[in-house]
């Protein structure tokens, strides 16, 4: 977990300045005023303001300010006096836009050995072990929990410990086993190449996928994972032209069965407004490239093939077997997952799956940090 450094603060002529390294910046008085936290201004239980800053005049000034130890005391020109904790102010000033969980991603490849597993217990829900699980999840993009009860549909109970299970056209959960007339290749015994799930959903695919092994009697059927974050960063260095066209060209993803048609447009590599990694979508059996000039299509197809070769390379893939009671939680926006083929005549292979959104794990993580005063 990243530890936020306490900033230095300076008061000069009733103006408050923060120092982040050599960068000195004045803190706007209104920015401070809307963060007052005394009980007459902030509801303790909900942490919601008891005033509406959007209806206030923003001509707020600081009349007096003083720093005493780790407390900044401020008197505003509307009569409000408030005490601010220096560390909390530092944390607030250090926040990055679009980042709720300040945990740095750890890149990994096929030589990754630090696969952290956790053991489920009845006290798991609100425990430090759950907090450690979430930290590991945000660092590596996946975690494995052992000894999870194999009672039918228990994965829904587990998902709801973290947040709310997301219902899709597959239902609240889905069964992963070979069956006749499947509406997805996951429900066969075939090899599944690295892919992300549900790229055809709008506005975004589910962020988190949970797979819970109920039965596994076959010699094949190994689970595979690839870190799309690592591959994307490597691609940027290996071939910038390919990286640029894949991160700037939207393709159409489409799912069809007898009851549903789902479509969405997205880049294979999706970046935020600062051109930083946000997510990947890769499911080449479901994508349709738009009409472009021949030269641009030639470049795009070459780039997609190059990316596919990276995703399918032994250099990036880890492989392991989920046994009954094992539950894997993975970041569907970051990781690609797959499966080796197996022979259904050898015995049963039965997994159950469901989806969560990121606000579930983020909310649980922030709650546990608060609970353990971290």
pLDDT at 179 over 80: no
Domain annotation covers residue 309 = yes
DSSP state of 56: S
Q: What are the pLDDT digits (tens) for 9-62?
A: 999 999 999 988 788 999 999 999 999 999 999 999 999 999 999 999 889 999
Residue 183 pLDDT > 70, yes or no?
Answer: no
Determine how many CB atoms are found less than 10 A away from the CB of residue 162.
Answer: 22
Q: For residue 1, is pLDDT > 50? A: no
The answer on 130 and 52 residing in a single domain is no
Same domain, 179 and 295: yes
Same domain for 170 and 305, yes or no, is: yes
Number of domains in the chain: 2
Highest-pLDDT range among 57-61, 184-188, 238-242, 284-288: 238-242
Regarding whether 216 and 72 lie in a shared domain, the answer is: no
Computed over every residue of the chain, the mean pLDDT equals: 92
Closest C-alpha among 273, 255, 272 to residue 264: 255
In this predicted structure, the answer to whether residue 98 has a pLDDT above a threshold of 80 is no
Q: Tell me the residue range of the domain where 127 lies.
A: 117-368
Asked whether 197 and 169 are in contact (CB, 8 A), the reply is no
Smallest CA-to-CA distance from 142 within 69, 225, 83 is with 225
CATH code of residue 324? 3.60.130.10
Q: Are 116 and 136 in contact (CB under 8 A)?
A: yes
In a domain, 176, yes or no: yes
State pTM to two decimals.
Answer: 0.85
CATH of the domain at 33: 3.30.2020.30
In the predicted structure, residue 307 carries a pLDDT above the cut 50: yes
């Amino acid at each position: 977990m990243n530890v936020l450094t306490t900033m230095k603060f300076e008061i000069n002529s009733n103006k408050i300045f923060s120092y982040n390294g050599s960068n000195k910046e004045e803190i706007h008085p209104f920015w401070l005023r809307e963060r007052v936290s005394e009980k007459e201004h902030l509801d303790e239980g909900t942490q919601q303001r008891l005033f509406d800053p959007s209806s206030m005049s923003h001509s707020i000034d600081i009349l007096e300010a003083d720093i005493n130890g780790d407390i900044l005391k401020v008197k505003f020109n509307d009569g409000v006096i408030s005490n601010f904790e220096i560390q909390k102010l530092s944390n607030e000033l250090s926040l990055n836009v679009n980042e709720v969980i300040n945990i740095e991603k750890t890149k990994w490849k096929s030589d990754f050995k630090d696969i952290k597993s956790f053991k489920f217990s009845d006290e798991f829900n609100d425990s430090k072990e759950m907090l450690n699980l979430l930290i590991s999840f945000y660092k590596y993009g996946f975690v494995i929990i052992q000894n999870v009860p194999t009672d039918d549909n228990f994965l829904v109970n587990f998902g709801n410990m973290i947040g709310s299970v997301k219902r899709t056209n597959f239902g609240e959960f889905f069964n992963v086993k070979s069956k006749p007339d499947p509406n997805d290749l996951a429900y066969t015994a075939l090899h599944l190449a690295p892919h992300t799930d549900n790229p055809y959903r709008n506005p975004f695919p589910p962020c988190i996928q949970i797979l819970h092994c109920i039965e596994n009697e076959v010699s094949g059927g190994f689970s595979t994972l690839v870190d799309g974050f690592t591959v994307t960063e490597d691609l940027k260095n290996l071939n910038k032209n390919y990286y640029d066209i894949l991160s700037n060209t939207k393709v159409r993803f489409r799912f069809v069965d007898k009851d549903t048609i789902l479509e969405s447009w997205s880049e294979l590599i999706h970046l935020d407004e600062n051109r930083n990694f946000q997510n990947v979508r890769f499911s080449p059996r479901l994508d349709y490239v738009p009409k472009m000039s021949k030269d641009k299509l030639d470049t795009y197809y070459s780039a997609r093939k190059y990316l596919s070769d990276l995703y399918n390379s032994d250099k990036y893939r880890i492989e392991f077997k989920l046994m009954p009671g094992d539950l894997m939680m993975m970041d569907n926006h970051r990781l690609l997952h797959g499966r080796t083929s197996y022979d259904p005549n050898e015995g049963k292979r039965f997994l159950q799956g469901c989806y969560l959104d990121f606000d579930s794990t983020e909310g649980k993580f922030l709650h546990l940090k608060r609970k353990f005063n971290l």
